[in-house]
Amino acid sequence: MLELTGVTVSYGEYPAVIDASLTLQAGLIGCLLGPSGCGKTTLLRTIAGFQRPTAGQVRLAGKVVSTADWVLPPEQRHVGMVFQDLALFPHLSVAENIAFGLRGASRGERDRRVGELLELVGLHHLGAAYPHELSGGQQQRVAIARAMAPRPKLLLLDEPFSSLDPELREALPRELRRIFREGGATVLLVTHDQNEAFAMADEIGVMRAGRLEQWDNAYRLYHEPSTRFVADFIGEGVMLPGKVIDRHTVETELGRLRGEMERSCPPGTLVDILLRPDDVLHDDASPFKAHIVDRTFRGAHFLYTLALDSGRRILCLADSHHDHKPGEAIGIQTSIDHLVVFPQDAADGPAVS
């Protein structure tokens, strides 16, 4: 449904998006994730047709809609947008707000579609209410129903949860995922919150300083990050120095770590291995001991920060019935089936995983 090839977007001399490529299949939810100022909104606006690329092209449903020389106007793209401020019409009821995008349709068609959408977003009892009578989450759902009403090819959402209170931010992404799935929408949203991205998206693009560093599903971003930045930005973890022994083995302070390395470095290469908290297990019988420096209670688990003999810190996720205090030494072992390593001489080069 959406295909970007080598898209660069500049403001004057300043490139806000550099050489971005991605593909989003119909019916899937994609997400652009990254720190403030990395170019997410610029890319979204380019897809909507508000911004012209300086290079590359945007295709929607197989048709080229943006190049450096030509841009199909936003209103001709069949793309729906939901902005951060929602922009509901205060003087129109919920049903009238949703019907707004259906002006060309017959009365009967319009009523049917509005009824369908009210049902889909769980607001069938509030069709006659006005926006100021609704909660933040309800307003959000009206804005989404309004954008979905004309069945756009693609729905774009810019920071859809930013104005909601924390409780709703937790529950709404899952609810919206259901709404988009049941409504058959193809969606691209922007957020800087990885929990929201993980809760909603099938494909996530991690952006940094204008570059789309990896476009992948959440599982692969976490377990097979392709750059140090993605490894650091997604989830928790530390880099443990080591030396490559062979295709499956890296020597480290925690012994020889073994696992799949799809593209191995030559033996002898000095690398950093990504060690996630769930790669480090608490094991009383292990000869490797580490001192607890800090711990965070997470209900089912404790997240321990441990110091190795060298002083290096690592993280360990342990069942919370293993209740150890800071200062204690505990036995640990690693459980890794996929080694994600980054050569030490390539400061921010791609991962070799």
**Whose structure tokens read 């579609």?**
113
- The CB-of-17 to ligand ATP minimum distance in angstroms stands at 7
Q: Which amino acid belongs to residue 271?
A: V
Q: Which of 1, 4, 7, 38 binds ligand ATP (CB under 6 A)?
A: 38
| 28, 31, 41, 131: which one binds ligand ATP (CB under 6 A) | 41
* Residue nearer to ligand ATP on the CB measure, 36 or 106: 36
Asked whether 98 and 146 are in contact (CB, 8 A), the reply is yes
Shortest Cβ distance from residue 84 to ligand ATP (Å)?
9
Using the 8-state DSSP alphabet, how is residue 183 labeled? H
Binding flag, residue 11, ligand ATP (CB under 6 A): yes
Nearest-approach distance from CB 34 to ligand ATP, in angstroms = 6
- Residue 60's SS3 state is strand
Binding-residue pattern over the window 327 to 346 for ligand ATP, x denoting contact by CB under 6 A: --------------------
| Segments of 284-352 assigned E as strands | 289-297, 301-307, 313-319, 329-334, 341-343
Instruction: Give residues 15-34 in contact with ligand ATP (rule: CB under 6 A).
Output: 16, 34
Rounded Cα gap, residues 236 and 232, in angstroms: 7
Cβ distance to ligand ATP smaller for residue 16 or 142:
16
Range in contact with ligand ATP (rule: CB under 6 A) among 37-45, 70-78, 262-270, 301-309: 37-45
Cβ at position 233, least distance to ligand ATP in Å: 13
Going from the C-alpha of 174 to that of each of 80, 101, 161, 347, the distances in angstroms are 20, 25, 12, 37
Helices (H) and strands (E) in the chain, counts: 8, 20
**Cα dist from 156 to 47, 77, 210, 322, whole Å:** 9, 12, 19, 45
Rounded to an integer, what distance in angstroms lies between the CA atom of residue 158 and that of residue 168? 17
Q: Is 81 in the site for ligand ATP (CB under 6 A)?
A: no
CB of 112 to ligand ATP, least distance (A): 37
Burial class (CB in 10 A: 0-12, 13-18, 19+), 69: exposed
Q: Which of 114, 32, 89, 35 is nearest to 123 (CA)?
A: 114
Asked if 169 interacts with ligand ATP (CB under 6 A), we say no
Alpha-carbon distance 325 to 348, whole Å? 36
Report the alpha-carbon distance of residue 280 to residue 216 in Å, rounded. Answer: 25
Q: Output the smallest distance, CB 207 to ligand ATP, in A.
A: 7
**C-alpha distances out from residue 130 to 94, 102, 162, Å:** 6, 19, 22
Residue 83 as a binder of ligand ATP (CB under 6 A): the answer is no
Identify the CA nearest to 144 among candidates 230, 197, 83. 83
Q: Which of residues 211 and 295 has its CB atom nearest to ligand ATP in the complex?
A: 211
Q: In this chain, which of 77, 169, 192, 301 binds ligand ATP, going by CB under 6 A? A: 192
Smallest distance, ligand ATP to C-beta of residue 54, A: 13
Kindly tell me which residue out of 42, 140, 194, 226 binds ligand ATP, with binding defined by CB under 6 A: 42
CB of 21 to ligand ATP, least distance (A): 17
How many residues would you count in the chain? Answer: 353
Q: Interacting stretch for ligand ATP, rule CB under 6 A, among 11-19, 132-140, 214-222, 289-297? A: 11-19
Number of residues that bind ligand ATP (CB under 6 A): 12
Q: For residues 13 and 167, which CB has a smaller minimum distance to ligand ATP in the complex? A: 13
The yes or no reply on residue 39 touching ligand ATP (CB under 6 A) is yes
Q: CA–CA separation, 307 vs 315, rounded Å?
A: 9
**Smallest distance from ligand ATP to CB 193, Å:** 10
State the residues that interact with ligand ATP by CB under 6 A: 11, 14, 16, 34, 36-42, 192
